[in-house]
Amino acid sequence: MRTIPPAARANPPALAFGRRIGLPSLALAVALSAGLSACKRDAASPDAAAANPAATATPAPVARFDARLSLVNNNGAIRYDGTLDSEANRKALSIALAQAYSGQISGNLNVDKAAKPAPWLDKLPQFAAALSMSGAAVSFEGEKIELSGQASDADRAILLEKAKTLFPGYQYGGLFEGVGGAAASTDAAAQALAALEPGKAGPAEIVKALNQINLRFDDGGARIAPASLDILSRAAKAIQAGPADARYEIVGPGGGGGQPSDNETLSRQRAEAVKVQLIVAGVNPGALDTKAASGAATTPLQFNAVK
């Protein structure tokens, strides 16, 4: 019978293996394994997440914007456009507008979840029923209401009173400003236009008053600021009250930045915008011409009598 030497019996296989690879190497392997396990635990711990913000970052909040709606009365037919916060509100508003205008209405309403709830939604049908004058346009955006287009002084006063009753505390802009002649007491151009005698003032006198208008536009653009709609309405009345065969040239403001060709393009666009607004307010299109200011120098709005 074969006997096992005592030395072999005293050394288990694992220990014998350790001797073959060397005990220091085995200890290093164990240490590395323990270190990796600790790193995994640390990476999953709250402290590790705090040290690594990217691992717990949340999506940036979506920018919210005010719900909006525009209504335009085109010879009794209403055209609408806007954006609301939900499909339910879109359907409700579509039905309410159709009922308010007896079907004489068309348009498009979009739904965007980033839109804020419309504060004017519930009472809008009552206001919409009052928008019966052809050529008038009203826009709602948040707690702002703006009147534009063509509306007589009496119509402006009626709509403003309706707006204040249904939507107290809102901002009333565009043709709502200056209702009741309030602007005439503070604005130099309004005072000059009010001083013209209907049927007696000639083109030269009218141009002198028109050239006191300090018209405002969107920065770098041709959109007329809502605050300037009232003074252009007064300008239209002065032109209509003047000689029927008189013609006027509108030189749009421009210059002050960019290349001369760019400034000339902006001047022409602004002159056309003024012409359109005067026509909307009742001026005969044949009485108005437009011209662009040339060069890079800043120039104001200017009217000239065309002989």
**What is the pLDDT at residue 21?**
41
Measuring CA to CA, which residue among 117, 124, 128, 123 is closest to residue 89? Answer: 117
**CATH number of the domain enclosing 259:** 3.30.1330.60
Query: What residue numbers bound the domain in which 117 lies?
Result: 65-176
**What is the pLDDT at residue 283?**
95
**What is the pLDDT at residue 182?**
57
**What is the pLDDT at residue 13?**
42
Does residue 274 share a domain with residue 206? yes
pTM, whole model, 2 decimals?
0.71
Measuring CA to CA, which residue among 212, 217, 214 is closest to residue 191? Answer: 212
Q: pLDDT under 70 in the chain at which residues?
A: 1-62, 103, 181-186, 256-257
Does residue 218 share a domain with residue 144? no
Is 55 inside any structural domain? no
- Strand blocks (E) in 169-241: 171-174
Does residue 282 share a domain with residue 195? yes
Q: Tell me, what amino acid is at 6?
A: P
Q: CB of 190 within 8 A of CB of 234? A: yes
Does residue 194 share a domain with residue 138? no
Cα angle for residues 228, 78, 122 (degrees, 5° grid): 85
Is 30 inside any structural domain? no
Is 10 inside any structural domain? no
**What is the pLDDT at residue 307?**
79
From 149, 176, 203, the end of a domain falls on 176
Cα angle for residues 266, 270, 272 (degrees, 5° grid): 120
Is 215 inside any structural domain? yes
Task: Count structural domains, the chain.
Answer: 2
Does residue 220 share a domain with residue 152? no
Does residue 246 share a domain with residue 154? no
Is 248 inside any structural domain? yes
From 146, 176, 206, the end of a domain falls on 176
**CATH number of the domain enclosing 141:** 3.40.1520.20
Does residue 131 share a domain with residue 195? no
- Round to whole Å and give the CA distance between 137 and 148: 5
Is 291 inside any structural domain? yes
- Round to whole Å and give the CA distance between 47 and 24: 33
**What is the pLDDT at residue 15?**
36
From 120, 144, 176, the end of a domain falls on 176
Residues making up the chain, counted from first to last: 307
Does residue 236 share a domain with residue 165? no
**What is the pLDDT at residue 248?**
98
- Round to whole Å and give the CA distance between 151 and 163: 15
- Round to whole Å and give the CA distance between 143 and 67: 10
Is 259 inside any structural domain? yes
Does residue 118 share a domain with residue 227? no
Does residue 165 share a domain with residue 88? yes
Is 213 inside any structural domain? yes
Does residue 226 share a domain with residue 172? no
